[in-house]
Amino acid sequence: MSKHPWFKLLLGLLLALGGCRRAEHPADVQVAVASDLRYAFEALRARFEAVYPNIRLIPSYGASGQLFTQLQNGAPFDLYFSADADYPRRLIAEGLAVDSSFFQYALGQLVVWVPEDSPLTLASWEELAGPQVHRLALANPRHAPYGRAAVAALKALGLYARVRDRLVFGENVAQAAQFVASGAADAGLIALSLARAPEMQERGRYRPLPPETYPPIEQGAVVLQRAAHRPEVWTFWRFVQRPEGRAVLRQYGFALPDATDHPES
């Protein structure tokens, strides 16, 4: 190696610049996200990354139960936003998530959604069992909480036995919505948060189902143990619980749990 002083100076500058580039590279946060949260989460991500440009959120969307199984099998997520609060609680019980990190971020709401040109008026629930509905889409109740809520609502309305043979199941509630949007189904029981998305509002109409017809859809989030030491993960965890995060959830039709113990701003 050269002994010239200028060479050592140049080498030091290059190392310093390389260190700066590494420091400026965004820290990635991998988030497992229930599919009903897709549009709301994209809005959350845009607001969050505008405030924290050195943190990049990388969401993976799916049915809450499927994501839960992936996490049990060691999927490398840092945060988990579930449409069923029971799944994050089970991760805590299994030692896979941080006990103190659990919070209920929203209450989901169920609607019937039809394309804009549908002959259905949605004035009566009886229309779902009528001759104009050949296929009725909902999320698979085996692993999607909105699917379980949809089945419960249909039973409470006295419709389930009459429409059972018409049901088509999406792997998650977003896929159920896509079935209707694409014409593969005539109507769908989907999340209000999806029906509120701008592109869905342009393409269809919805009517909320009576909340007393299905169990409360309590939605919860948790930090995984593998990410407990990462400050950027907790930064987003706090952001969702603050007024700016809650405002996004409210915008997309989520009912918000009573806030009595939120992280300080």
pLDDT mean over 131-146: 95
CA distance 220 to 81: 6
Give the confidence band of 264 by pLDDT, cuts at 50, 70, 90: very low
CA distance 220 to 233: 16
CA dihedral 69, 197, 256, 111 (to 10 degrees): -80
Which pLDDT tens digit goes with each residue over 159-187? 999 999 999 999 999 999 999 999 999 99
pLDDT at 12: 52
Give the confidence band of 81 by pLDDT, cuts at 50, 70, 90: very high
pLDDT at 257: 84
CA distance 206 to 229: 43
pLDDT mean over 119-142: 96
- What proportion of the chain, given as a percentage, has pLDDT over 70? 88
Amino acid, res. 73: N
CA distance 20 to 39: 34
Residue 151 labelled as part of a binding site: no
Residue 173 labelled as part of a binding site: yes
Tell me the pLDDT of the chain averaged across its residues: 90
For the whole model, what pTM was predicted?
Answer: 0.85
pLDDT at 17: 47
Amino acid, res. 261: D
Do the bridges between strand 167-170 and strand 136-139 make them parallel or antiparallel, or are there none, so unpaired?
Answer: parallel
Give the confidence band of 214 by pLDDT, cuts at 50, 70, 90: very high
pLDDT at 158: 97
pLDDT at 4: 56
pLDDT mean over 109-130: 96
pLDDT at 23: 44
pLDDT mean over 68-87: 97
Q: Is the pLDDT at 76 greater than 70, yes or no?
A: yes
Structural domains in the chain plus CATH codes: 27-108+218-252 (3.40.190.10), 110-208 (3.40.190.10)
CB 134 within 8 A of CB 166: yes
pLDDT mean over 212-226: 97
Q: Is the pLDDT at 251 greater than 50, yes or no?
A: yes
Place of tokens 């915008």: 251
Q: Which of 15-24, 69-78, 107-116, 145-154 has the lowest mean pLDDT?
A: 15-24
Which pLDDT tens digit goes with each residue over 9-61? 544 544 444 444 444 678 999 999 999 999 999 999 999 999 999 999 999 99
φ and ψ at residue 33, rounded to 5 degrees: -125, 130
Residues with Cβ < 8 Å from 15, sequence gap 6 or more?
Answer: none
Please provide the DSSP assignment of the chain as one string. ----HHHHHHHHHHHHHHHHHHHHSPEEEEEEEEGGGHHHHHHHHHHHHHH-TTEEEEEEEE-HHHHHHHHHTT---SEEEESSTHHHHHHHHTTSB-GGG-EEEEEE-EEEEEETT-S---S-GGGGGSTT-S-EEEE-TTT-HHHHHHHHHHHHTT-HHHHGGGEEEESSHHHHHHHHHTTSSSEEEEEHHHHTSHHHHHHEEEEEPPGGGS--EEEEEEEBGGGTT-HHHHHHHHHHHSHHHHHHHHHTT-B----SSPPP-
